Structure 1
Amino acid sequence: MSGSGAHLASLMLAGFRTLVDATMEELTRRGHPDFRPVHEYALLAIEAGAASASDLGRSLSVSKQAAAKTIATLERRGYLSVELDPEDGRRKRLDVTDRGREVMRMGAAIFDELRAEWAKTIGVERLDSLEADLERLLGASPLRFDTPGWMT
């Protein structure tokens, strides 16, 4: 069975979208109705060292203004704390809060639950093989923080 490259890309994107949408729906049921995929990417980038709106914008491939808006939203919703940098009062320090870490852990657990459902559908060995093949093609760490900016 051979398909086109476009069909393969569509299937891979649909798989990503299906898992993300199901995770967002479950996060809503578990008390995080205001959390969005871009928020996850932002929190991951901040944990990886994005220390300002400019840094976050570069990490996500969005404008500084869009990054600042995301930071304000995450702070307002309790996922992020923003404080003046004690060493440089012109800069703000970004820290993921306990609530932010909680939603990230919850999201990861939901992805694991969804993976287990997929394994029930096609079998653990086939899913493990698919994952191994994708890692071989994409590398072991395919996540890029700039996915939100790339998708727009």
Structure 2
Amino acid sequence: MVNVVDEMVNQVDDNAPGFELPLLLFAGFRSLIDRLHAELARQGHVDFRPAYGFALQAVGAGATASEVARRLGVSKQAAGKTIDRLERLGYVERSADEADARRKLVGLTPAGADVLARSAAIFDELRAEWVRVLGSGRVRDLETSLRTVVPSGFPLDVPGWLGT
């Protein structure tokens, strides 16, 4: 029996227009992110948006608004607005910086840590689904290939890069 996915791969045109590659990569990214957020909403995080995930990653173990802005590639004002929204939603909290009383640190709340843990588990499930559809070797090859052509590290500056 011919595997439908293998049949599609055999039809790939080595001379496909260059613009298709970024569109396919973006569509794959968008598919994963949309499915993640649908599942997060189902699990109770109905107000959580894609940009918030990048912001929570930028907050990490604790950061100032300026550090969050730099990590996201946005202005301090834009980072401040995002932090305000995340604080209202209960995902982060501000506290005084013990090293410098003039600064405020932003940290994750239990809800912020929960949504990141749930996101990681959902991404594992989505990757496992890709493995079921494409096969483990093809997913591994895709990841290895992307690691080869993508600069090291995972930038969090998608909101700034997209101009949001």
TM-score (normalised: structure 1): 0.91
Offset of residue 138 of structure 1: 1.3
Write the letter of the residue equivalent to 1:149.
Answer: G
Alignment partner of 1:81 is 2:93: yes
Write the letter of the residue equivalent to 1:10.
Answer: L
SS of the aligned residue for 2:155 comes to: coil
Q: Distance in 2 between matches of 1:13 and 1:48?
A: 29
Alignment partner of 1:135 is 2:147: yes
Q: Distance in 2 between matches of 1:129 and 1:93?
A: 40
The residue correspondences of 1:1-150 to structure 2 (distance < 5 A) are: 1-2=13-14, 3-47=16-60, 51-139=63-151, 141=153, 143-150=154-161
Alpha-carbon deviations, 1:11-57, whole Å to 9, x = none? 001111110011011000000011112111111111166x2222211
> Number of residues paired by the alignment?
150
Q: Distance in 2 between matches of 1:89 and 1:107?
A: 34
Alpha-carbon deviations, 1:83-135, whole Å to 9, x = none? 12234332111111121111001011111111111111111111111111111
Q: Distance in 2 between matches of 1:120 and 1:87?
A: 50
Q: Distance in 2 between matches of 1:150 and 1:48?
A: 23
Larger radius of gyration: 2
Flag structure 1 segments of 5+ consecutive residues without an equivalent.
Answer: none
SS of the aligned residue for 1:144 comes to: coil
Offset of residue 144 of structure 1: 0.5
Offset of residue 82 of structure 1: 0.5
| Deviant stretches of 4+, over 3 Å | none
Root-mean-square deviation (Å):
1.5
Write the letter of the residue equivalent to 1:11.
Answer: L
Write the letter of the residue equivalent to 1:146.
Answer: D
Flag structure 2 segments of 5+ consecutive residues without an equivalent.
Answer: 1-12
Of all paired residues, the percent bearing the same amino acid is 47
Q: Distance in 1 between matches of 2:18 and 2:140?
A: 22
Write the letter of the residue equivalent to 1:46.
Answer: V
